[in-house]
Chain A
Amino acid sequence: MKNFFILFIILLSGNNLYSETNFFNISVSPPIIKMKLFPNTLKNIKLVISNNNNKPVELIPMVMDLELDLNGNPIAHPQEKNNKWSCADWLIFNSNPISIPPLENLDFNLQVKVPGFSQCGQYSIIMFQTTDLNKINKEIEVVGRLGTILMFEISGRKYIDAIIKKFDILHFKEEIEFTILVRNTSNIDIQCNGSIVIIDNNKRIIDRVKINGGTGTILPESEREYKAIWKGKTLKSGSYVAKLKLYIPGSSKVHQKEIQLTI
C-alpha cells in the first residue's frame, strides 16, 4: 500500500469544465515608461488598465524588480532589499486589489518620489496580477500578469561604458555563429549595436555581419549575449580575421575585439 496511494488534487472551482470562455481579458497601457527624473521631485504617472471582458475582473497591483536575461528578455523578480538599481521603494500607489467592471478602463495613479541621491539608472515593474473574484481556493490557479516596466534616468552624474567579456565562434556546416558577451559597466542602461567585419588573408574586407540583439538593452552591472551569423557566398575555406566593433549610443568609445578563424 505504501506505493499505492492516491494523490488527489481536486478541483473545487465552479469552472471545472473546460470552457472556451476567457477568464480575463485585460490590457495595460503603457507597458513601458522611460523617463528622465530629477532628484528630490515627485512625479505623477497615469497607467490605464482595461477590462476587455464582459465580466468584472479583480487585479492585485504589486511592484517587482526588473532583470533582463542574457537575451534581453525581461524577468520580474520579487522585490529585493538593497537592490541599488531598483526604484521600488520610490513608488507610491494603492496596493489594494482593484476591481474593474466589464468593458471599462481604470486609471491607476502612481507617484514616483525621487530621493536626493541615487544611481543614475533606476528600474522596476508595476505588475497587475489577476485574482479569482469568487475567492475559491483552487488547486492550481492560473494567473495572468501584465506589467509596466519603469526605466528612469535620474539626472546627475552619468557614465557610460561596457566591456566585451567574450567573443567566440561556433562553426556549423554552412555558417559561422559569433557569440558576443557584453557587460554593462555604466550606471545606466545601454543599448549596444555594431557589426563584425570579416577580413581575409589579403587584408581585404570580404563581408560585414550585423549583430542581432533587438533593442540591445543591457541594464547596469548586467550582461547580454548577442549573436551574429556569417553565411553565404563569402564563406569559403581559408583564414580570416573577424573584427568586432561595438557602439554604445551616448559613448564616443568604439569597443573592438578580434578573433582569428580558419575554415
Chain B
Amino acid sequence: MPNIFNQLHYVKLIRGILFLIIIINVKIYAQFMSINPPVLSLEINDNQNFQDFPTSVEIAVNTNAEDWVINCMGQPFVSEKPTDIIPIENILVKHEYITTSNDKKEYRPLALTEFIASGKQTNNEYKIVNSLLFRLNIPNYINFGNYICELRFHYSDNLGRTEEVILQLNTNYRKYLKIAPNFHLLKFEIFGSPGIYDYKKDAKIILHSNDEFWTLKFELLPIVSEQGEIFDSKNFLLLLQPATNRKIFQQNIPDDYWHFNQPLTIPLQMNKMGKNFSVEFNCNFRIQTNWEQRTGDYHGALKIYVVEQPGIQISIPIEIIIHKSNTMQISANDLYFHVKGEGAIWDGDKDIRLIVGSNCESWIVNCRATVLESQKGYIIPNERIYIKNDQENYNGDEGAGIGFHSLIQPVDLVKGTLTEPREICKMLFRLKSKDLDRPGRYTGKIILTHLTVP
C-alpha cells in the first residue's frame, strides 16, 4: 500500500510540473510585443551634426485583442557622469506614423509619449506594425564617453493586458582624428649625380578632429632594394610647414628638414572650424643620395599615426629608383707642345687632372689620341704622343721616358668601383718629334672616355 500511495504521489507531482510548464509556455506565448534588435549602438566618429543609428528597429505584435495600442516613452541619454546628458529632444525618430504636409516621412524629435502603432487581433501570428529609424542630433557641447538611453515601449489592449519592452540605445562619443593626405605614393626617380632630390608634387596632409590636441608621429619603415640593399633612413627628409598662417604646433618643431633616423613627433594644436578642429600642412619630402648608395629600385613606407590612438594610422608607400650615373671632370680642355729644333721629346704645357665619380660597380677611363695633322696635311702619328699616369706604377719605357705609354692604342688610365667624385689621377703628356717632321701648326685630339664595365 505504501508503495501504491507513493506512486500516486509521484504521478501527482509530475502532473503538477507539467501543468507549471504549460502555464509558463502559455505565458511565453502570450508575449504580445517584440522589438528587434533590443539594443542599438552608435559610434560617433566625427563631429557631424546628425548621426544615424545603423539599423532600423522593427516592432511586431501578436495578440488576440480586438483593440490595442503601443506608445513609446523616452529618456535622455546619460553617461557615467550624471552631469553629461544628451536631452531627449536630440533623439530624432522617423516611422510610419510621422508624416509632413508633403506626405514625406521625415525625422522629428521623439515626443515624450510617442505613438507607435495600434490595431486589431493578428490571428496568432507576429505582425510588424512599425519600423523606426533613430538619429542623434549631436549637441554643441558634449563630453567624450559612453551614453545610454532606454526607450520604453508600452503595449495595452481592450482586455486590460499590458506589456513593456525596453529598447536600449547606446552611443559612444569618442575622440577621432582623420588623416587625409593628398598623396598616396612617394616616388623618387634619380637620374644624374647623387645629391639632394625633392619630391616635386604637391604633398599635403589634412587632419580633421573633434578634439583640439593631438600628437602626430611620422615613422619611416625600412626602405630596401630588391637586392637587399638598405636606403639609409637618415637620407629621407621631411620639412613640415603649415598651409595657413595659423599656429598649429604646440611646441617648437625643427624648422629645418627632419632626418628620419628617428621618428618625427609633432604635438598639434588644431584650428577650430565650427564644431570641429582641423589643420592642414605641406609636406616637403626630400631624399639625399651619395655615390656610395647602390643603384636599384627601393621600396618602403612612411607610417603616419596618432600617439594617443595608435589604431588611427595611414601608411604611404615609398619608391626610390636610383639610376646609375658616371661623372667626369678635367682640369683643361687643351694641350700645347712647343717644339723647337731637332727631334727630341717635349713635355706638354700642363698636366691634366682627372676627376671621376660613379655609383657603378665597375667603371673605366681610358685615353686615346688622334693623329696630329698640319694644315698642309703633314702627320704626326699618335704613337709619338705619350701619356703618364701619376697614380700608376709603370716602369716601362716606350720611347718617351720611364712610365710613359705610347698612345698608339688606347691606354686604360684607371678602373674603379663606387666612388664619389675625386681626383683619380694627374696625366702628363709628351710628344716625340723627329728631325724629318715638317714645321707647322698641328692639330688633333686627346680623348678621355669614361664608361661602365658591363
Residues of chain A having any CB pair with chain B under 8 Å: 2-11, 13, 15-16, 18-32, 34, 46-50, 52-53, 68, 72-76, 105, 125, 127, 129-130, 132, 137-147, 149, 151, 189, 214-215, 217
B interface residues, how many (CB within 8 angstroms): 61
A140 and B441 form a contact (CB under 8 A): no
Q: Does B420 contact A (CB under 8 A)?
A: no
Q: Closest approach, in angstroms, between the C-beta of A26 and any C-beta of chain B?
A: 7
Q: Closest approach, in angstroms, between the C-beta of A45 and any C-beta of chain B?
A: 12
Return the CB mask of B353-373 against A: 1 if under 8 Å, else 0: 001011011111010000010
**B191 contact set on A, CB distance < 8 A:** 29-30, 46-48, 50, 105
Residue of A nearest to B325 (CB): A29
Most chain A beta-carbon neighbours within 10 Å: one of B295, B332, B412, B443: B332
Residue of B nearest to A147 (CB): B451
A31 and B451 form a contact (CB under 8 A): yes
Q: Closest approach, in angstroms, between the C-beta of B12 and any C-beta of chain A?
A: 95
10 closest Cβ pairs, A-B complex: A48-B191, A7-B339, A29-B325, A27-B327, A23-B333, A11-B336, A50-B192, A25-B329, A29-B191, A140-B335
B326 and A8 form a contact (CB under 8 A): no
Q: Does B430 contact A (CB under 8 A)?
A: no
B192 and A151 form a contact (CB under 8 A): no
Give the contacts of B389-448 with A (CB-CB under 8 A).
410, 412, 415, 433, 435, 437-448
Q: Does B338 contact A (CB under 8 A)?
A: yes
**B361 contact set on A, CB distance < 8 A:** 215
**B412 contact set on A, CB distance < 8 A:** 73
**A143 contact set on B, CB distance < 8 A:** 333, 445-448
Complexed CA–CA distance, A189 and B453 (Å):
13
Complexed CA–CA distance, A123 and B271 (Å):
61
B452 and A31 form a contact (CB under 8 A): yes
Choose from A10, A137, A142, A147 the contact partner of B352 (Cβ within 8 Å): A142
* Interface of A, helix, strand, loop or mixed by DSSP: strand
Q: Closest approach, in angstroms, between the C-beta of B446 and any C-beta of chain A?
A: 5
Choose from A30, A68, A74 the contact partner of B325 (Cβ within 8 Å): A30
A142 and B332 form a contact (CB under 8 A): yes
Q: Closest approach, in angstroms, between the C-beta of A223 and any C-beta of chain B?
A: 16
A27 and B454 form a contact (CB under 8 A): no
Complexed CA–CA distance, A69 and B360 (Å):
19
Q: Does B340 contact A (CB under 8 A)?
A: yes
CB contact under 8 A between A139 and B335, given known A8-B441, A125-B451: yes
Choose from B325, B328, B339, B358 the contact partner of A8 (Cβ within 8 Å): B339
Residue of A nearest to B443 (CB): A139
Give the contacts of B302-336 with A (CB-CB under 8 A).
323-336
Q: Does B50 contact A (CB under 8 A)?
A: no
Residue of B nearest to A72 (CB): B453
Q: Does B341 contact A (CB under 8 A)?
A: yes
B339 and A141 form a contact (CB under 8 A): no
Q: Does B450 contact A (CB under 8 A)?
A: yes
Q: Does B290 contact A (CB under 8 A)?
A: no
A151 and B454 form a contact (CB under 8 A): yes
Q: Does B256 contact A (CB under 8 A)?
A: no
CB contact under 8 A between A26 and B327, given known A7-B340, A141-B446: yes
A140 and B337 form a contact (CB under 8 A): yes
Complexed CA–CA distance, A131 and B355 (Å):
18
